[in-house]
Amino acid sequence: MSRRPAVITGVGSYVPERVLTNADLEQIVDTTDEWIVSHTGIRERRIAADDEATSDLGLAASRRALEDAGLEPGDIGLILCATVTPDHFFPVTSNIIQDKLGADRAAAFDLLSGCCGFVYGLWTARQFIATGELEHVLVLSAEKLTSITDWTDRATCVLFGDGAGAAVVSAGEGDPGATGLLAFVMESYGEHGRLLRVPAGGSRRPVDEEALAARDNCLRMEGPELFKLAVRGIPEVAAKTIARAGLTQRDIDWVIMHQANLRIIEAAAKRLNVPEERLVINVDKYGNTSAASMAIALDEVYREGRLEPGHNILLVGFGAGFSLGGAVVRWGP
């Protein structure tokens, strides 16, 4: 079967207006700005308004990506929304965004794959483009993580923020091995799923009075163990992805990791031998926005004019599952 290249033709992002600084958190829990910065690299994060849901964040990012691609909502054949904080179990968030966008020709479904969600979305979109099934797919990642944050848990409440990013993936021309979405590596280690979880809220344990009292409808994380897995796993997946793209580490112009923790990013970059000037970092401004983090970072480096045609971008993330994912993208004009 012949394959067509899948290329990113538009990107966009959105973060809420409200800024929550480390000084603000000092008034909420027993912590300090010095401790947060030294352990995470985070200085502030964005917090969605009470009346802002995940779909509202995703809608704003999607509109900007469509505008950047020069497309109308009716041009989109499929909407993929990666999120762990949907507006509801159903209707799913992608359906809500499809309606608000007016994308009346688009199918829609959500991807619940944690912090690797954006890479999973691009991977899925490539299949529909490569086979000729669709011409344009909207991939978005949106999170309102503050809706599942336990604000009494100083180990986790300092980490998370809200935001969304989006990309339009379209059919391109030429050799699919030389342009666009070049290569992916996706891995799952379900035995480590306990390290990052929301204990209550599904069919295994519905939310009841006991769960609410224990705040088990909020995010729980085993930080030290997760740190070790990420620092070891990110370089391994990155190396596999680069090799699958037929490239070497020296061919990579930009590395965009999941923006979870500056210490993880720096430790993984050291193992990858990636110089600081090739790293894209914004965790200091937004904290951990889960599935949205790599999408927001990609849009930022693009809007700043740092991406040039032919640049090779490595996207690599880790998160709930435990999942790892990598992608190599050759940027187009």
Q: What is the DSSP annotation of 53-106?
A: -HHHHHHHHHHHHHHHHT--GGG-SEEEEE-SS-SSSSS-HHHHHHHHHT-TT-
pLDDT truncated to tens, each residue of the chain (333 aa)? Answer: 458 999 999 999 999 999 999 999 999 999 999 999 999 999 999 999 999 999 999 999 999 999 999 999 999 999 999 999 999 999 999 999 999 999 999 999 999 988 999 999 999 999 999 999 999 999 999 999 999 999 999 999 999 999 999 999 999 988 877 789 999 999 999 899 899 999 989 999 999 999 999 999 999 999 899 989 999 999 999 999 999 999 999 999 999 999 999 999 999 999 999 999 999 999 999 999 999 999 999 999 999 999 999 999 999 999 888 999 999 999 987
Which residue of the set 115, 116, 157, 218 is catalytic? Answer: 115
194 plus 88 within the same structural domain: no
Bridging pattern class, strands 220-221 and 196-197: antiparallel
Domain count, the chain: 2
Residue 136 annotated as catalytic = no
193 plus 153 within the same structural domain: no
User: CA 71 to CA 209: how far, in whole Å?
Assistant: 47
Q: Answer whether residue 25 is part of any domain.
A: yes
- Which is nearest to 61 in space by CA: 2, 304, 52? 52
Query: Taking the model in full, what pTM does it have?
Result: 0.96
10 plus 129 within the same structural domain: yes
Which residue of the set 22, 95, 261, 288 is catalytic? Answer: 288
207 plus 148 within the same structural domain: no
Domain ends where: 110, 136, 171?
171
CATH number at residue 22: 3.40.47.10
Which residue of the set 22, 157, 258, 261 is catalytic? Answer: 258
User: CA 198 to CA 261: how far, in whole Å?
Assistant: 20
Q: Quick one: how far is CA 186 from the chain centroid?
A: 14
User: CA 150 to CA 131: how far, in whole Å?
Assistant: 44
User: CA 24 to CA 19: how far, in whole Å?
Assistant: 9
- H helices of 131-222, in order, are 209-213
78 plus 201 within the same structural domain: no
Residue 288 annotated as catalytic = yes
Residue 115 annotated as catalytic = yes
Domain with 31, as residue range(s), is 6-171
User: CA 164 to CA 170: how far, in whole Å?
Assistant: 20
Domain ends where: 123, 141, 171?
171
